[in-house]
Structure 1
Amino acid sequence: MTTPKTNGYCCELSVGEVAERSGVAVSTIHFYEAKGLIKGWRNPGNQRRYARDVLRRVAVIKIAQRTGIPLASIHEALTTLPEGRTPTATDWRKLSARWKAELDDRITRLTQLRDELSSCIGCGCLSIKDCPLRNPADELSAQGPGPRLLHPD
Structure 2
Amino acid sequence: MTERPAWNSRELTVGELSARSGVAVSALHFYEREGLIDARRTSGNQRRYRRDTLRRVALIRIAQRVGIPLADIHDALARLPEGRTPTARDWTRLSEGWRDELDQRIHRLQQLRDDFNGCIGCGCLSLERCALANPHDEYGRHGDGPRRLLES
Deviations 1:25-57 (A, max 9, x none): 111111111111111122110111111111111
Residues 104 and 15 of structure 1: is their aligned pair in 2 closer, same or farther, counting only changes over 3 Å? same
Give SS of 1:16's match.
Answer: helix
What amino acid is the match of 1:146?
A: R
Is 1:146 paired with 2:144? no
Output aligned runs, 1:1-153, within 5 Å: 11-120=10-119, 128-142=127-141, 146-147=147-148
Please give the alpha-carbon distance, in whole angstroms, between the structure 2 residues aligned to 1:106 and 1:115. 14
Q: TM-score, normalised by structure 1?
A: 0.77
* Number of corresponding residues: 136
The structure richer in helix per residue is 2
Please give the alpha-carbon distance, in whole angstroms, between the structure 1 residues aligned to 2:147 and 2:60. 38
Please give the alpha-carbon distance, in whole angstroms, between the structure 1 residues aligned to 2:36 and 2:63. 12
Residues 143 and 76 of structure 1: is their aligned pair in 2 closer, same or farther, counting only changes over 3 Å? farther
Query: Aligned residues: percent identity?
Result: 61
Contact 1:51 1:84 in 2 (8 A): no
Partner of 2:123: none
Please give the alpha-carbon distance, in whole angstroms, between the structure 2 residues aligned to 1:43 and 1:142. 64
What amino acid is the match of 1:58?
A: V
Contact 2:127 2:133 in 1 (8 A): no
What amino acid is the match of 1:111?
A: Q
Q: TM-score, normalised by structure 2?
A: 0.77
Consecutive unaligned residues in structure 2, runs of 5 or more = 1-7, 121-125
Contact 1:40 1:49 in 2 (8 A): yes
